[in-house]
Amino acid sequence: MSFNRKPGGSADSGPPIGSVLSDLPPHISNIGTPAEPGESTGTVLLFVSTYCSHCIDLLPHIEAMTRRHPTFSFRLFSTGDEDDHRSMVDYFGWTFPVCSLDQSDMEAYFAVTYLPFAILVDDSGKVAAKGVIYNADEYEQLVKDYARHALA
């Protein structure tokens, strides 16, 4: 199962760079501990599906991604249910929130139409970088894009 691909491409997915994200949907439940205010310089929102082979391949690399950039607050949005998320958190030892969000809500609230997808938000709440990421190297490229945005 995967997203229906829209005309354009993965660069068209997600909210526009520089836009402010709206509040999270009220029905989102999460497992994990959010970062304390003032501890982070930005936020990473990572979107995955439990039905996406690229997403599943990325899961073992997420802990290293979070350790490499500890100043980012990290949140994973997954199509899995709470049992799936507890299993992932226990297995990988994640401490960040893992939130249930179905694919239609990923598109409705975040305009995400490709997976796995990351949105990096600066400390003012604006989208600073975004893109499809299949591995830690592509995540590192997004972090560089974020840094360029912060310097601009």
What is the per-residue pLDDT across 59-116, written as a single tens digit (0 to 9) for each?
999 999 999 999 899 999 999 998 999 999 999 999 999 999 999 999 988 999 999 9
Residue 143 falls within a domain, yes or no?
Answer: yes
Lowest average pLDDT, out of 37-41, 44-48, 74-78, 117-121, goes to: 37-41
Domain presence at residue 134: yes
Top-confidence residue, 40 or 145? 145
Domain hosting residue 128, numbered range: 40-151
pTM for this structure?
Answer: 0.86
Q: What is the pLDDT of residue 6?
A: 41
Find out whether 122 and 149 touch, Cβ atoms under 8 Å.
yes
Apex CA 30: angle with CA 86 and CA 11, to 5°?
105
Residue 90 lies in a domain: yes
Is 103 part of any domain? yes
Tell whether 29 is covered by a domain.
no
Categorize the per-residue pLDDT at 11 as very low, low, confident or very high, splitting at 50, 70 and 90. low
Q: What is the pLDDT of residue 150?
A: 73
Report if residue 65 sits inside a domain. yes
For residues 49 and 1, is the Cβ–Cβ distance under 8 A? yes
What's the total number of domains in the chain?
A: 1
Report the CATH number that the domain containing residue 67 is assigned in CATH.
Answer: 3.40.30.10
Answer whether residue 111 is part of any domain.
Answer: yes
| Structural domain includes residue 26 | no
**Beta-carbon count within 10 A of 70 CB:** 12
Q: What are phi and psi of 17, to 5 degrees?
A: -60, 135
Quick check: 110 and 47 in contact, CB under 8 A? yes
Res 33 pLDDT > 60: no
